[in-house]
Amino acid sequence: MKVVLLASRPAPGAGPDDLDTLAQAAALTQALAELGHETARADFSLDLPSTAQGLAAAAPGAVVNLVESVDGNARLIHLAPALLEDLGLAFTGSDQAAVLLSNHKILGKRLLAPHGIPTPAWTDRAALLRGAPLPGGPLIVKSVTEHASTGLDDASVLTPGDPAELLAALDRAAARHGGEWFAEGYVPGREFNVALLHSPDGPQVLPIAEMHFTNFAPDRPRIVGYDAKWDEASEDYAGTVRSFEFPAADEGLLDSLAHLARRTWSAFGLSGYARVDFRVDEHGRPLVIDVNANPCLSPDAGFAAALRQADIPYPAAVARILDAALSRRA
Ligand SMILES: Nc1ncnc2c1ncn2[C@@H]1O[C@H](COP(=O)(O)OP(=O)(O)O)[C@@H](O)[C@H]1O
Ligand SMILES: [Mg+2]
């Protein structure tokens, strides 16, 4: 079958988070070749008619959607599955609705609560301007639509004295990094990543990973900031260590993480592959902090690490992701 890999072309001077798409494309091209598929590349851009033309000319049996940013930010990434749906093409990962719901962190949080899936309290500009009270305790200032820890560093965690102070912090982040910013309750406890992969019987929960924060000074927030995720030479990169080892005492917690990740998958209508990130509060209760449709498939990222831990060869996982794409359209 002919499979087209659809991605945004990284802008000149793009950061490592944008360049990562190239590493994913290389790994997928190799896996697809091993599966006996012919591959080609297509560029996604805001010139939707020419993107559509390129796709139509390639006449793919399926498209691998690797669009993680558009013109350097993630606000418009749902346009890629929207266009693919409109063209009637089979494509990997989540559909337009699930990409939008998961990529927009406030929309996502609004969906979690009615499904009984715990997530930290939050506030945003509109709520603060309405005079809504602060959630209380330390908060983390996050982008509404960016991923890859964009703009996250120690200064992102703060305890504002009043709403005006928080509003100023949201506006500073927006001025510095662009887009919209909100604040969420900072949960100082353990962090877990739960990867899910399509199977004919519903999503399979892959081995759960914990992110350990080693050598972080006690007064520093324990977060996977931008440097920890992308700057391989930084202390934070070396100090954030993924582990799949758990004592027997964690069995109940791991079960509830798996259960909540499955419920999140169905609440959001995720498809193919996904990853749900959690922090655990002081009562041992897991809270969803991030829902990732189409998570990074680079060999050195969390999803591939979970595959290795599950003894699922990378090409076999790609075959399952492709199956999901083809069966959704059927
Ligand atoms: N509410 C929170 N409490 C504690 N840490 C958080 C919280 N939200 C985010 N973080 C930290 O910031 C990192 C990135 O935030 P996340 O919400 O996962 O966004 P991204 O889409 O950039 O991955 C997380 O891996 C975690 O370390
Ligand atoms: Mg995350």
CB 8 within 8 A of CB 68: yes
As a whole number, the mean pLDDT across the chain is: 96
Distance in angstroms (rounded) separating the CA atoms of residues 139 and 135: 8
Distance in angstroms (rounded) separating the CA atoms of residues 283 and 281: 5
Residue count (the chain): 330
Any idea what DSSP says for residue 70?
B
Using DSSP, state whether 189 is helix, strand or coil.
coil
Which residue is closest in CA terms to ligand 1's atom 2?
Answer: 186
Distance in angstroms (rounded) separating the CA atoms of residues 289 and 143: 12
Distance in angstroms (rounded) separating the CA atoms of residues 83 and 68: 15
Judged against a pLDDT cut of 90, whether residue 72 lies above it is answered with: no
Which residue is closest in CA terms to ligand 1's atom 9?
Answer: 289
List, as ranges, residues with CB under 5 A of the ion ligand 2.
277, 290
> Which pLDDT score is estimated for 330?
58
Atom of ligand 1 nearest to the CA of 223: 27
The verdict on the CB of residue 68 being under 6 Å from ligand 1 is: no
CB atoms within 10 A of CB 46: 11
CA 141 to chain centre: 17
At 324, is the pLDDT very low, low, confident or very high (cuts 50, 70, 90)? Answer: very high
Any idea what DSSP says for residue 207?
P
Judged against a pLDDT cut of 90, whether residue 30 lies above it is answered with: yes
CB 170 within 8 A of CB 39: no
At 148, is the pLDDT very low, low, confident or very high (cuts 50, 70, 90)? Answer: confident
Q: What tens digit of pLDDT does each residue of 90-129 get?
A: 999 999 999 999 999 999 999 999 999 999 999 999 999 9
The verdict on the CB of residue 279 being under 6 Å from ligand 1 is: yes
Distance in angstroms (rounded) separating the CA atoms of residues 207 and 3: 29
Angle between helices 314-329 and 302-309 (to 10 degrees): 110
Using DSSP, state whether 228 is helix, strand or coil.
helix
Instruction: Determine the average pLDDT of the residues in 27-32.
Output: 98
Which residue is closest in CA terms to ligand 1's atom 15?
Answer: 149
At 82, is the pLDDT very low, low, confident or very high (cuts 50, 70, 90)? Answer: very high
Distance in angstroms (rounded) separating the CA atoms of residues 168 and 160: 10
> Which pLDDT score is estimated for 15?
82
Which residue is closest in CA terms to ligand 1's atom 13?
Answer: 224
Q: Which helix (H) or strand (E) holds 3?
A: strand 2-8
Angle at 238 between CA 235 and CA 240, to 5 degrees: 105
What percentage of residues in the chain have a pLDDT greater than 90? Answer: 93
Distance, CA 43 to ligand 1 centroid (Å)? 30
Distance, CA 222 to ligand 1 centroid (Å)? 10
> Which pLDDT score is estimated for 308?
98
Instruction: Please give the residue that has the higher pLDDT: either 189 or 20.
Output: 189
> Which pLDDT score is estimated for 16?
83
Distance in angstroms (rounded) separating the CA atoms of residues 180 and 167: 12
- The token pair at 125 is 């500009």
CB atoms within 10 A of CB 224: 18
Distance in angstroms (rounded) separating the CA atoms of residues 275 and 292: 5
Dihedral, CA of residue 10, residue 108, residue 182 and residue 154, to nearest 10: -70
> Which pLDDT score is estimated for 70?
93
CB 52 within 8 A of CB 18: no
What percentage of residues in the chain have a pLDDT greater than 70? Answer: 99
Name the residue among 37, 88, 45 with its Cα closest to residue 67.
45
Please list the alpha-helical segments (H only) found in 216-268: 226-230, 235-239, 251-268
Which residue is closest in CA terms to ligand 1's atom 16?
Answer: 290
CB 274 within 8 A of CB 294: yes
> Which pLDDT score is estimated for 17?
80
Distance in angstroms (rounded) separating the CA atoms of residues 291 and 278: 9
Instruction: Determine the average pLDDT of the residues in 283-308.
Output: 97
Domains and CATH numbers, the chain: 2-92 (3.40.50.20), 101-119+189-329 (3.30.470.20), 122-185 (3.30.1490)
The verdict on the CB of residue 190 being under 6 Å from ligand 1 is: no
Tokens 């749902």 sit on residue? 78
> Which pLDDT score is estimated for 119?
98
Counting ligands in written order, the one closest to the CA of 287 is: 1
